[in-house]
Chain A
Amino acid sequence: MLKSVIEWTWVLAIFGIAALIGNWFGMDVLPWEAIPGMLILIAVSLVGLMLEKALPFSMPAVGYIGILAIIISLPWFPGSDYVVAWTSQIGILALATPILAYAGISVGSNWADFRKLGFRSFLVAIAVFLGTFIGSALIAEVILRWQGII
């Protein structure tokens, strides 16, 4: 466990540096202004990863991480003002860019598989978006009518 935690910390720190660079170039936030927020995000991720290993439930680490992050940023949680202020220095897209950069590099090795998805996956994606959008609108219609709002 300790070995894993140390290795996770290293990987998260490397990724954090990439995000701070993106945050700096893309959103003009100087890296040292974003470091406290990044440390909080790394700490939350580490706790979530440890909980996934330690607890017997089949919830993935991202489930624990999401709950934990919501709790520590609730208005009535002690110190949440700092959590919110510090993490607001890091843009969501600044985290997404390095993920996609590493993903692009990694996808190369499965490129043959990806190409096979091709045009058919385009059709499925359209069905996914159409299905979700229409499904949501239909349910909203029923409930809004039932509530008498529309």
Chain B
Amino acid sequence: MEKVELKTVIKDWRLHAIAFILVAITEAIGQFSIAVGPGVILLLPMLYAFFLGLGLYFTPLISEKNAKNAEPLIILGVTLLIAKIGVTIGPQIEAIIAAGPALLLQELGNLGTIFLALPLAVLLGFRRESIGMTHSIAREPNVGLIVNKFGFSSPEGRGVMAVYIFGTVFGAVFLGLISGLLATATPLHPLSFAMASGVGSGSMMAAASGSLIGAYPELEEQIVAFAGASNLLSLSTGLYFSIFIGLPLTEKLYSIMMRRSERKAAKGGGPNA
């Protein structure tokens, strides 16, 4: 990514004033939820802030230069978010250790996205965007990792933001819908789906475990305990899982797929080859 001088970023008061106003307005509006079947579509201030900010780019208020200057604020803002997630985990460390190895191994389920979604992304014609899209479920720590490593306006950054935005808008309602559906339609135990409910954000967990409880009210307490512990663990280990396993594996698999398609193109030429 092209580096902008931090000194000019700091002095871009027009940008910061606009951001402060956006934050004040959107937080004052507050949160809304729309019920859809067993789940909800959550409308959060951060979503209004994103779309209002985007809209402002197409007005004379924000110039190309202001937009470029916004990027370091995102990268450093994410570091503060990670620090906040960290200090939320520390006090709960004993609960995490007690939750045990079953929960830890269940984290490997994240690999499901790499094997299912990465081939689909490459098939649909995405290039390096697919790495950002499919290395994880794209929650805040994963966005932080990709932005930190590749930059916000890199292809990987665009990819992770696309899935992040999808997840923020539809994640809760989507998981809410499929968890009830899958738990009743497949032979897997509802408690396995309770653990899976913790893979994303808190609101996703609430929606996914909520519809499980709707389907199996007699298991309510166990479902809540399993989903909560899993969510805590995703929050604490998700980032390191992405750093050491998810992201390297996605990059490896991506380069293997790319090499194969290049070889195919070089060998055959025509579509029938």
Q: What residues of chain A have their CB less than 8 Å away from a CB belonging to chain B?
A: 4, 7-8, 10-12, 14-19, 21-27, 40-42, 44-45, 48-49, 59-63, 65-75, 77, 80, 83-84, 87, 90, 92-111, 113-114, 117, 120-141, 143-145, 147, 149-150
Contacts and interface: CB of A to CB of B under 8 A. Distances in A.
A73 B90 CA distance: 5
Interface stretch (B77-85, B253-261, B263-271): B77-85
Nearest to A16: B80
Contacts of B208: 133
Interface of B: 6-7, 9-10, 15-16, 18-20, 22-24, 26-28, 30, 44-47, 49-58, 62, 64, 66-68, 70-74, 76-91, 93-94, 101-102, 105-117, 120-121, 124-126, 129-130, 133-134, 136-138, 140-141, 144-145, 148-149, 152-153, 158-159, 161-163, 166-167, 171, 174-175, 178-179, 182, 188-189, 191-193, 195-196, 198-200, 208, 230, 236, 239-240, 243
B81 A95 contact: yes
A40 B107 CA distance: 30
DSSP class of B's interface residues: helix, strand, loop or mixed?
helix
A20 to B, nearest CB: 9
Given A104-B53, A139-B106, A42 B120 contact: no
B76 A12 contact: yes
- The interface residues of chain A, by DSSP majority, are classed as helix
Contacts of A26: 27-28, 30, 45
Contact of A11 (B76, B94, B196, B236): B76
Nearest 7 CB-CB pairings of A with B: A135-B112, A108-B57, A69-B86, A104-B53, A73-B90, A136-B109, A26-B27
26 contacts: A15-B80, A22-B27, A25-B27, A44-B83, A60-B148, A62-B148, A65-B83, A73-B91, A94-B27, A97-B45, A98-B73, A99-B77, A102-B19, A103-B53, A104-B57, A109-B64, A120-B126, A121-B133, A124-B117, A131-B112, A132-B199, A135-B109, A138-B112, A140-B191, A140-B196, A141-B188
